[in-house]
């Protein structure tokens, strides 16, 4: 392994060769930098915005008044790439070049550039002649040349497009780029709106308005015929009524069944309950006895008086005794017959049961009538629901037709408004693209950079000189150092004499 001293000796010994190689490389680079024509670069930036006409909204056109269509969609990557393609289109370059010619190349630098172009163009010319390709005119060649000098790129994470044009003439690079931007804006004004679009959309809107009117009339006639004004609301109302009636019907049936059972129970209780009850009962004296007893007492008093005057066997005494015997027999017979007085009244339990039974029968009659009415209402409701289902198909079909015609009509109205707005914007050159940076006036060329070229030439010449020195050292078989003598012979060096001796 050679040490650093060996390499230093090689560089010192081959310094002349290194200097020559460096001078040669620097000379070539200097000559090229001086001969190569300066290249100037003019830059411009384009801002792409959403379509200006689409952010407008007209009164009565938007479907939702509370949320007008005043929010534009963001610019997509496809739209940006389309703008890039338009800027690099040869027809756009031809429009920019119309009426203007590129500056003629003169001077040694420009002549050298033309010579290089001729040399590099020879292979292409030979290939075209071999395959009989169509010959390009000078104008077409100039357009292709200018197209190759145009660079268009997207600035990351933005809606800005940078356009760069390079030329050997500083004034021409700015002038052509300005003409290119003007042609780009004019092209946008032409393609962004068709002057016939507004009249077309207006005519279509009139046709769709008539169609919408016919579909609305058909829907209105069907609504009048079927009585369906709001299908969804009427369906909901009909279903609600049906379930309400059904609930009431089931409740009535339950009440009717309970009332019928109550009648049966009351009827059985009424049969077991007596109609009348004893209100009051008492035993009273016989009225015949009350009248007969005084007469007996009177006759006994009369007999006693007669006994004082007549004999017991006298006729008058026997007559009185006969009357007393008859009266006593009557009193004896009537004393064994009691006279009983009693008062009867209607049984209050029977009366309450009878009244409750009558009330239950009335309730049953009312519930039966209610049941019949609810049955009729349920039948009518079912028929109405079936009619809504059947007629609703027609109403929904007509409603869909009206909605479709309305959407189409409003769509063409919006398109017509956008076309009108776009025409006004184009007339005032208000487009969805704008030049945010006018073409710059290049003050210094971007190539060649003489100072950088010289620094690079010196570095390259030194590297090539070292390579040449090491190659020469490897090719040279002579021995120049004591270290080489020791490596090749194994002998020690006593002294080293300078080259001058």
Query: Model confidence over 270-325: pLDDT tens digits?
Result: 788 887 776 665 655 566 666 677 777 887 887 777 777 777 777 777 777 887 78
Closest C-alpha among 447, 438, 448 to residue 42: 438
Cis before 448 (ω within 30): yes
CA angle 128, 132, 138 (to 5 degrees): 55
Closest C-alpha among 184, 116, 209 to residue 438: 184
The residue count for the chain: 501
405 touches 212 (CB < 8 A): yes
**CA 383: distance to chain centroid?**
39
Terminus-to-terminus CA distance in the chain, angstroms? 31
pLDDT digits (tens, 9 = 90+) for 432-456: 788 888 999 888 888 777 788 888 8
**CA 311: distance to chain centroid?**
147
CA dihedral of residues 95, 98, 100, 104 (deg, nearest 10): 90
- Percent helix, strand, coil in the chain, to 5, is 70, 10, 25
Compute the distance between CA of residue 407 and CA of residue 413 in angstroms, rounded to an integer: 10
Task: Provide φ and ψ at 113, rounded to 5°.
Answer: -65, -40
Q: Is the pLDDT of residue 488 over 70?
A: no
The residue-averaged pLDDT of 90-113 equals 68
**CA 347: distance to chain centroid?**
80
Compute the distance between CA of residue 118 and CA of residue 114 in angstroms, rounded to an integer: 6
Outline where 162-286 has alpha helix (H).
Answer: 170-191, 197-226, 231-272
pLDDT digits (tens, 9 = 90+) for 352-382: 878 888 888 888 899 899 999 999 998 998 8
Domain locations along the chain = 4-199+430-483, 276-346
Report pLDDT for 251.
92
Beta pairing, strands 433-437 & 150-154: unpaired
Question: 3-state class of 228 per DSSP?
Answer: coil
Question: 3-state class of 292 per DSSP?
Answer: helix
Strand partners, 45: 162, 437
Q: In percent, how much of the chain has pLDDT > 90?
A: 11
Specify which of 25-34, 53-62, 105-114, 417-426 reaches the highest per-range mean pLDDT: 25-34
pLDDT class of 152 with cuts at 50, 70, 90: very high
Q: Which helix (H) or strand (E) holds 284?
A: strand 276-284
Closest C-alpha among 14, 65, 40, 288 to residue 172: 40
> What global pTM score does this model have?
0.47
Report pLDDT for 403.
92
Ordered DSSP codes for 388-446:
HHHHHHHHHHHHHHHHHHHHHHHHHHHHHHHHHHHHHHHHTT--SEEEEEPPP---S-S
275 touches 373 (CB < 8 A): no
pLDDT digits (tens, 9 = 90+) for 220-275: 888 888 888 887 888 888 888 888 989 999 999 998 898 899 888 888 887 888 87
Domain range 4-199+430-483, CATH class: alpha beta
- How far is the CA of 67 from the CAs of 12, 61, 62, in angstroms? 85, 12, 8
Compute the distance between CA of residue 222 and CA of residue 216 in angstroms, rounded to an integer: 10
Q: Is the pLDDT of residue 63 over 60?
A: no
Q: Scanning the structure block, which residue is given the tokens 């600035």? A: 155
């Amino acid at each position: 392994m050679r040490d650093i001293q060996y390499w230093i000796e090689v560089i010192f010994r081959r310094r002349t060769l290194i200097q020559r190689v460096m001078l040669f490389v620097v000379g070539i680079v200097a000559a090229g930098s001086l001969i190569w024509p300066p290249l100037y670069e003019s830059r411009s930036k384009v801002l792409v915005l959403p379509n200006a006409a689409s952010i407008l909204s007209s009164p009565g056109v938007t479907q939702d008044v509370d949320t007008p269509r005043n929010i534009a969609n963001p610019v997509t990557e496809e739209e940006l790439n389309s703008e890039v393609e338009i800027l690099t289109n040869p027809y756009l370059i031809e429009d920019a070049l119309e009426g203007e010619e590129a500056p003629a190349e003169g001077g040694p630098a420009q002549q050298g550039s033309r010579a290089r172009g001729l040399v590099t163009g020879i292979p292409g010319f030979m290939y075209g002649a071999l395959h009989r390709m169509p010959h390009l005119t000078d104008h077409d060649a100039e357009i292709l040349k200018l197209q190759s000098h145009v660079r268009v790129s997207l600035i990351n994470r933005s809606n800005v497009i940078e356009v760069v044009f390079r030329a050997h003439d500083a004034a021409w690079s700015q002038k052509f780029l300005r003409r290119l931007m003007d042609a780009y804006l004019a092209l946008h004004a032409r393609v962004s709106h068709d002057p016939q679009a507004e009249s077309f959309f207006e005519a279509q809107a009139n046709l769709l308005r008539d169609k919408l009117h016919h579909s609305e009339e058909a829907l209105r006639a069907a609504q009048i015929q079927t009585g369906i004004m709001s299908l969804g609301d009427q369906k909901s109302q009909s279903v609600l009524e049906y379930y309400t009636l059904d609930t009431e019907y089931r409740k009535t049936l339950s009440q009717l069944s309970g009332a019928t059972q109550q009648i049966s129970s009351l009827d059985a209780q009424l049969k077991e309950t007596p109609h009348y009850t004893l209100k009051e009962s008492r035993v009273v004296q016989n009225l015949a006895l009350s009248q007969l007893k005084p007469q007996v007492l009177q006759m006994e008093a009369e007999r006693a008086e007669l006994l004082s005057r007549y004999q017991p066997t006298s006729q008058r005494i026997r007559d009185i005794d006969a009357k007393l015997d008859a009266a006593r027999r009557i009193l004896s017979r009537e004393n064994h017959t009691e006279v009983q007085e009693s008062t009867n009244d209607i049984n209050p339990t029977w009366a309450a049961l009878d009244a409750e039974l009558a009330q239950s029968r009335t309730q049953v009659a009312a519930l039966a009538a209610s049941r019949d009415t609810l049955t009729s209402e349920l039948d009518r409701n079912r028929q109405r629901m079936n009619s809504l289902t059947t007629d609703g198909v027609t109403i929904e079909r007509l409603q869909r037709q009206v909605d479709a015609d309305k959407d189409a009509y409003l769509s063409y109205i919006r398109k017509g408004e956008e076309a009108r707005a776009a025409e006004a914007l184009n007339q005032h050159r208000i487009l969805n693209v704008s030049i945010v940076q006018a073409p710059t006036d290049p003050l210094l060329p971007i190539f060649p950079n003489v100072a950088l070229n010289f620094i690079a030439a010196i570095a390259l010449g030194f590297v090539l000189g070292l390579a040449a020195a090491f190659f020469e050292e490897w090719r040279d078989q002579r021995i120049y150092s004591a270290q080489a003598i020791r490596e090749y012979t194994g002998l020690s060096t006593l002294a080293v004499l300078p080259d001058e001796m």
